[in-house]
Structure 1
């Protein structure tokens, strides 16, 4: 079976399951900092939260940035930062700057 052969509802169910698995994976890898994700993949947990909020808005749901971040981080953003975020190292800052030169 190919993706094209699935109904829209089936595609949505698989997309949702993959998104939940991605969130679970990120939750299990709190050691991976957002700057690491930005350096390697050009997106981070905050990007996912923004995409989640935008998708909600597209569907007519009023979800705040804070609520979207809580969905992605599994807790309030400020709590996550206090518990898990570490300062970016000079090496991370240099890699980020090199990746994002205009």
Structure 2
């Protein structure tokens, strides 16, 4: 069953997922993103339409905290420190891919 089939049926199996299972999967994703600093945020945005910062922002929204706190949770350190260690300037091509990818996201994402 595809994600769209699941949505079309009027239900979303993600809502049926046990919170502990979802939390374990989220922590695994966040730890993988911490480890894979070679996967640049701009490339994640260009491919998937989200990045570490987005994930941190979603944590902040869900947890009623400021964005920096949410982002630091995902980065495993303050954002400025992560950026100093891992950030590289985006190329014009990366920016175009990001814009194209973001246009595919549902509104609010």
Could you state the TM-score of these two structures normalised by the residue count of structure 2? 0.72
Determine the structure 1 residue equivalent to 2:106: none
Give me the CA root mean square deviation: 2.2
Larger Rg: 1
In the alignment, structure 2 segments of 5+ residues that lack a partner are 1-12, 104-109
Report how many aligned residue pairs link the two structures: 90
Secondary structure at 1:75 match in 2: coil
Match of 2:90 among 83, 88, 93: 88
Could you state the TM-score of these two structures normalised by the residue count of structure 1? 0.77
> What do residues 13-49 of structure 1 show as CA deviations (whole Å, max 9, x unaligned)?
0000000000111011101111111111011111101
Q: Which runs of 4+ in 1 moved over 2 A?
A: 93-101
In the alignment, structure 1 segments of 5+ residues that lack a partner are 58-62
Supply the distance in 1 between the matched residues of 2:100 and 2:68 (Cα, whole angstroms): 30
